[in-house]
Amino acid sequence: MNFTNKNIPILHRPSRRIKRVALSVEANRMDRRKHATVSTSNLSSLCPIPLVSSFSQNPTQNCRNVGISATTQVVTIQDARFTKPFQRFPIKTRVPVNIGAFNVRTLMQSGQQAALALTLNSLNLDICCLSETRIQDSSRVIDLKVPSQTTCYKLRTSGDVQAAAAGQAGVGIVLSSAAESALLNWIPVNSRLCAIRIASGVGVSVRRSTKRSLFVISAYAPTNCSSDTIKDEFYDSLRNLLNLSRSSDIVILTGDFNAQVGLLGENEQTLGGRYGIDSPRSDNGERLLQLCGEYNLFLSSTSFRNKPRRYCTWYSPATSTWSQIDHIAISYRWRGCIQGCRSYWSTYVDTDHALVFCRFSLQFDGEKVNNHSRLATVNFNNSNVKESYQKELTLRLASINRTDVTELWEQISNSMTAASRLACGQRPKKCNKH
């Protein structure tokens, strides 16, 4: 695994000259220039697709609407399809797409949004799933931009009334301009779950015109010390959200799961790799592995050999221990599309979590080679080939011992196959035309 690419800058530790005061000044400039936040009236000009609130139930909207009940657990999807012209597809075969998962602790603090934009630009991220944003408004799009750079990112957040009153949780997804142009659906669920669907230019098969999509879920699980009722509610909502994915979608599940899975055993090879931090498995870890087994997901964060520091995603100041609680999982069929996964600690954001980075490149296996050799039966039109076949078959049948009917038939079949191979030979393999 090599992360040194000419097109991807290597993230170094931020300079000590960049302090909170400088970030606050940039944030104030963004507020004055209306870069950090947008009003509801200007939302249609900034967002290429019509957005709906998490409590909207208008089927006339030209997009997929999400209805959430008062308990924020049951997600109902209306089948209003959304189509739009795409300028470019960020997901193409063998074109890398950088995906990240980051617990930012808060985006309400002055300078955090500017620091997040600097971090995303330094790592050249296309999709980044955020946790603990503490922004609960799911009906608007926030521009993340720093005056010193030209790249602009779009942030969408999800929340609910209870989390907004407490000022906790909050999840969101940040998209680059390339990923924003291919956005199909935005699905806000509650303060712990949200999802997006991004189109690609890759078809399901040659005979079908359906295109594959990337179904990305941003999750923020309750802590391990939470009650079982809260954990059950979260994983039930997560299962309902996973059920919304199509059979042709490539599912990617990211976020802060507060789950320590430790090192996986030999009977758990289909759930993840054999690398990671050797720590005791927590209850959230058991729940996460059970979910991966149910929906055929693979933990890519445990499938690459890295330094121990690059596995850790959270540092506990109380116990002074390093833990791996942020994960990235992908559909088991597409696990080979993840080319690398590691964590970055040197970021501009003021948080005690590391950013989990993975590189996704859509790849397909080559054409299956048929190793079964076929006989050149056309040669039997030659009289010499027929005579040699009959002589060889007569010699082989004479040495057969007639003991059992099953064994007798196997010996006859093997004799006919061996005689035909010696007489007529094998058919030459066809060369593929490119």
Residue range 51-70: mean pLDDT, rounded: 36
pLDDT at site 37: 39
Closest by CA position to 341, among listed 328, 354, 358: 358
**Model confidence at 130, in pLDDT bands (50, 70, 90)?**
very high
Using CA atoms, how far apart are residues 356 and 130, in angstroms rounded to an integer? 11
Lookup result for tokens 């991004």? 198
Using CA atoms, how far apart are residues 117 and 127, in angstroms rounded to an integer? 12
Output helix, strand, coil percentages for the chain, rounded to the nearest 5.
Answer: 30, 25, 50
20: Cβ–Cβ under 8 A, 6 or more apart, which residues?
Answer: 111, 350
Residue range 315-343: mean pLDDT, rounded: 92
**Model confidence at 29, in pLDDT bands (50, 70, 90)?**
low
**pLDDT tens digits, 7-27:** 434 344 444 444 454 555 555
Using CA atoms, how far apart are residues 91 and 182, in angstroms rounded to an integer? 9
Using CA atoms, how far apart are residues 220 and 55, in angstroms rounded to an integer? 21
DSSP assignment of 297-337, as one string? EEEGGGSS---HHHH--EEETTTTEEE--EEEEEEGGGGGG
Per the CB < 8 A criterion, the answer to whether 43 and 186 are in contact is no
pLDDT at site 91: 77
**Model confidence at 348, in pLDDT bands (50, 70, 90)?**
very high
pLDDT at site 272: 94
pLDDT at site 4: 41
Using CA atoms, how far apart are residues 371 and 389, in angstroms rounded to an integer? 24
Residue range 113-134: mean pLDDT, rounded: 95
**pLDDT tens digits, 66-121:** 334 333 333 333 333 334 444 455 678 888 999 999 999 999 988 999 999 999 99
**Model confidence at 378, in pLDDT bands (50, 70, 90)?**
confident
Closest by CA position to 174, among listed 92, 104, 247, 227: 104
Percent of the chain with pLDDT over 70: 75
Percent of the chain with pLDDT over 90: 49
Closest by CA position to 118, among listed 89, 156, 152, 68: 152
Closest by CA position to 198, among listed 218, 179, 171: 179
Using CA atoms, how far apart are residues 297 and 265, in angstroms rounded to an integer? 16
**pLDDT tens digits, 163-186:** 888 888 999 999 999 899 999 999
> 158 - beta bridge partners?
171
Size of the chain in residues: 434
**Model confidence at 28, in pLDDT bands (50, 70, 90)?**
low
Domain boundaries, the chain: 87-360, 377-424
pLDDT at site 165: 85
Question: What token pair was written down for 27?
Answer: 């944030």
3-state secondary structure of 393: helix
**348 vs 18, 169, 206, 316, CA distance in Å?**
9, 21, 45, 19
Using CA atoms, how far apart are residues 170 and 378, in angstroms rounded to an integer? 71
Using CA atoms, how far apart are residues 98 and 94, in angstroms rounded to an integer? 12
Per the CB < 8 A criterion, the answer to whether 382 and 421 are in contact is no
Question: What token pair was written down for 336?
Answer: 């080979």
Closest by CA position to 298, among listed 251, 330, 265: 330
Residue range 251-275: mean pLDDT, rounded: 94
Closest by CA position to 338, among listed 401, 254, 220, 235: 254
**pLDDT tens digits, 208-257:** 778 889 999 999 999 999 999 999 999 999 999 999 999 999 999 999 99
**Model confidence at 262, in pLDDT bands (50, 70, 90)?**
very high
**293 vs 84, 122, 149, 329, 332, CA distance in Å?**
35, 35, 43, 11, 10
Mean pLDDT of the chain, nearest integer? 79
Per the CB < 8 A criterion, the answer to whether 327 and 355 are in contact is no
Per the CB < 8 A criterion, the answer to whether 326 and 312 are in contact is no
Among the CATH numbers 3.60.10.10, 3.90.220.20, 3.40.1350.10, 3.90.1860.10, which is that of 87-360?
A: 3.60.10.10
pLDDT at site 369: 53
Using CA atoms, how far apart are residues 125 and 341, in angstroms rounded to an integer? 13
Q: Across the chain, how many H-helices and E-strands are there? A: 10, 17
Q: Is the pTM of this model over 0.75?
A: no
